[in-house]
A and B are shown apart, each in its own frame.
Chain A
Amino acid sequence: MLNAISYLLSATLRMGTPIAYTALGGMTSERSGVNNIGLEGIMTAAAFGAAVGSYLFQNAWMGVVFAILIGIAISAVHSLVCITWGGTQAVSSMALVLLSTGISGVGLKALFGRQGNSPEVPSLPTTTPLEGIPVIGEFLSQQSPFVYLLLLCLLITWFLFRHTRLGLRLITVGENPKAAETAGLNVHRLRYFGVIYSGILGGLGGAMLSIGSMNMFQEGMVAGRGYLALGAVTMGRWNTWGVFGSAMFFGFFSALQLYLQSIQVPVPTEFIQMIPYVATVIVLALSAGKSNAGIAAGGKPYTKFVQQR
């Protein structure tokens, strides 16, 4: 019994972490008024990038750096298309997904000369310095550093919206860009920040997949987690703790899926694998109709009030 709980807890953290990173990023982007459905793509490219970085330098932390840079690059494209050029956000997001899947496939072949997955690369599966802590030290040290980095990101994101000047301004441009502009704020620049922040966090989420919980990149390894993260943003009502909790909730379903597979319940694996997706649909159906706590000006491109003449 204790074993099961420990397994589930550990697996929930492992499965929930990449979703939570991405969801916190997605939340920031959406709160600034730009939907980023392309997080799935950012995670894919970052997962690949992390493996490449780790492989090239034989150092997993360089993989993290690579993942972040890739997250920034892809979200910058999304920002340019959606914020500056006023393109449709959902469509541009789908471009990111195709682009990222494609690039990682092409890269896999070009760099490693193989298909399907990369060779094994240095990874960050455990946090050994924590071993010394009494009683729970063993459990803590078995978690990837990504888990602890996530807690840091969680605090930063919470602090950003709770206390900082930037956070208040991000909320303002997301809710009412016109009001923001009349208050002298630069709507576009702030939205760029929101989207790129989501790129950084999405990048970390992707990196966790390839060099956190595994030690290689596999095609299709993101498996919709970017979209689950978006579901978590909606379910968490754009609130930092709510979004984190929802992401972990989805992580729990993934963990449950793993657990059920490991104890070989007499249900076909495919149905167990469906659990996170079915759960998302059910949860959204139950929660979406109730409240209209969405972002007031979310998803709409903003053309400056001031005429360009």
Chain B
Amino acid sequence: MATKAIGKPRFKPDRKKLQETGLSLLITLISLVAALIVGAIVIWAFGSNPFEAYGALWRGAFGTGIAFTVTLGKAVPVMLTGLAVAIAFRCSVFNIGAEGQLLMGAMAAALVGAYVNLPMVLHLPLTILASMAAGMFWAFFPAVLKLRGNVSVVISTIMFNYIAQYLVQYLILGPFKGPGESPATATIAETAQLPDILPKPYVLNLGFVLALLAVVGTYILLNRTSMGYEMRAVGFNASAAHTNGIDVGRNMFLALLISGALAGLGGGIEVTGSLNKIVNNFSANYGFNGIPVALMAHNNPFAIIFSALLIGAMRSGSSMMQSSAGISQNMIDVLQGLIIVFLCSEHVIRYYIKHRIGGKKHA
């Protein structure tokens, strides 16, 4: 089917590119709508009213100005884990370890933020960098295991998620337990806290801007540098990349490290921006949410802004859904799972769209 285009009269390129982008967007929308419909059936099957549930979800996410800023804030960590998953994916590495890398990044930020004394101009950047380094460090082991031992990245990164979870739990409850009863680290110094960018009562901090910068940075890295050129070449066709002198293993290794740094940054922003410390089990699947975020955006950094906002909206609206419609917050996991299932069936959706458009042309 792939060879079909060969030899046919070609469209103007711009139109073709536009068509392709439009098609991707359409597929994402179809997947989203299909997921919402099936989700509605699930809600109905468990004895609730889907309209009420979705209504509450919407109000919770966008109902008020404050709610909207919460949504923006919730989008930040998943935007970064989405970028992490996407950049690795573009180099054909499936990093399911964003969760663990985010945890380690958050831990590093909490420690540097609380135990280092520096003026803000130095302390804040240092804290942020520490989180990135920690995320990268956590991706380093699976990356080495892949490069040297050919161990599946999927399994090793998952294992490292669990190891990170226990390690962080130990650090929070053990040596770095903060004052008071709560299972959390000490609050970080004010010099390590990200400033708000909107006046109270709105809640939005500089982390949102950092996330947007990360989007731009990822885009530049992937599309404007020779390194990104290599990574994408490896992702599209590793064999051709290799034959033309590109080191495939090295690129996959680097992609995983960068991916880890991005996820770590997500954790760092969460700590320096909104939590100011680590509470046990604070990351409710931020890492795993990165997968639907990346997939919905077709791994395009700029599109990730929007898919992250969508997931962020679900996260911020879910508590309203739980309290007023009585649906568990877990419903958003169901929706995300469904979105992935439909996105995964892209070939089929594409086939039907083309079939229909093709049919119209002939008629």
Interface residues of A (CB under 8 A from B): 37, 77, 81-82, 85-88, 90-92, 94-111, 115, 223-224, 227, 230-231, 234, 268, 270-271, 273-274, 277-278, 280-281, 284-286, 288-289
Q: A108-B328, A224-B158, A224-B162 are in contact. Are A101 and B333 (CB under 8 A)?
A: yes
CA distance A108 to B167 in the complex (A): 29
Q: How long is the Cα–Cα vector from A106 to B346 in the complex, in angstroms?
A: 27
B334-A106 in contact (CB<8A): yes
Residues of chain B contacted by A98 (CB below 8 angstroms):
288, 291-292, 333-334, 336-337, 340
A-B contact list, 5 entries, CB within 8 Å: A85-B347, A102-B333, A102-B336, A108-B330, A277-B163
Listed stretches B118-126, B146-154, B182-190; interface member: B146-154
7 additional contacts (CB under 8 A) given A281-B151, A288-B152: A85-B348, A102-B334, A105-B330, A109-B328, A231-B159, A274-B162, A277-B159
Encoded as 1 (CB less than 8 Å from any A CB) or 0, chain B from 298 to 339 comes to: 000000000000000000000000100011111111111110
Cβ A288 vs Cβ B159 within 8 A: no
Bound-state CA distance A85–B44 (Å) is 28
Cross-chain contact B347 with A289 (CB below 8 angstroms): no
Is B49's CB within 8 Å of the partner chain A? no
Q: Quick check: A227 and B159 within 8 Å, CB to CB? A: yes
* 0/1 interface trace, chain B 261-302, chain A, CB 8 Å (1 if under): 000000000000000000000000000100110010000000
Complex-state Cα separation, A77 to B167, whole angstroms: 35
- Contact at A111–B46, with CB atoms within 8 Å? yes
The reply to whether A284 and B151 form a contact with Cβ atoms under 8 Å apart is yes
Q: Is the CB of A37 within 8 A of B330?
A: no
**Neighbour of B327 across the interface among A109, A227, A268, CB < 8 A:** A109
Given known A106-B328, A107-B46, A270-B169, contact A278–B163 (CB-CB < 8 A)? yes
CA of A268 to CA of B173 in the docked complex: distance in angstroms? Answer: 10
Q: How far is the CA of A8 from the CA of B311 in the complex (A)?
A: 44
B162 to chain A, nearest CB (A): 4
Chain B residues with Cβ below 8 Å from A224 are 158-159, 161-162
Using an 8 Å CB-CB cutoff, how does the interface string of B342-359 with A read, 1 for contact, 0 for none? Answer: 011111100000000000
CA separation between A264 and B330, bound complex, in Å? 36
Question: Secondary structure of the B side of the interface?
Answer: helix
**Interface presence of B227 (CB below 8 A):** no
Return chain B residues, CB-CB under 8 Å to A271.
Answer: 166, 170
Q: Which residue of A lies closest to B335 (CB)?
A: A102
Q: Provide the bound-state CA to CA distance between A115 and B346, in Å.
A: 35
Beta-carbon contact of B334 and A270 below 8 Å = no
User: Bound state CA distance, A278 and B156, in angstroms?
Assistant: 10
Partner of B162, one of A109, A277, A285: A277
CB distance from B239 to the nearest CB of A (A): 15
Cα of A17 to Cα of B236 in the assembled complex, Å: 41
Name the B residues within 8 Å of A278 (CB-CB): 159, 163
Residue of B nearest to A87 (CB): B344
Residues on A with C-beta less than 8 A from B333 are 98-99, 101-102, 105
Bound CA span A109–B152, Å: 36
Given that A102-B334, A284-B145, A289-B149 are contacting pairs, would A81 and B345 also be in contact in the complex, using a CB cutoff of 8 Å? yes
Q: How far is the CA of A281 from the CA of B341 in the complex (A)?
A: 29
Contacts of B337 in A (CB 8 A): 95-100, 102
Q: Is the CB of B149 within 8 A of A285?
A: yes
CB neighbours of A108 from chain B (8 A): 328, 330
Q: How many Å from the CB of A77 to the closest CB on chain B?
A: 7
- Tell me if B96 is interfacial: C-beta within 8 Å of chain A: yes
Report the separation of the CA atoms of residues A281 and B329 in the bound assembly, to the nearest whole angstrom: 33
Question: Is the Cβ of B347 less than 8 Å from the Cβ of A270?
Answer: no
Chain A residues contacting B166 (CB-CB under 8 Å) are 270-271, 273-274, 277
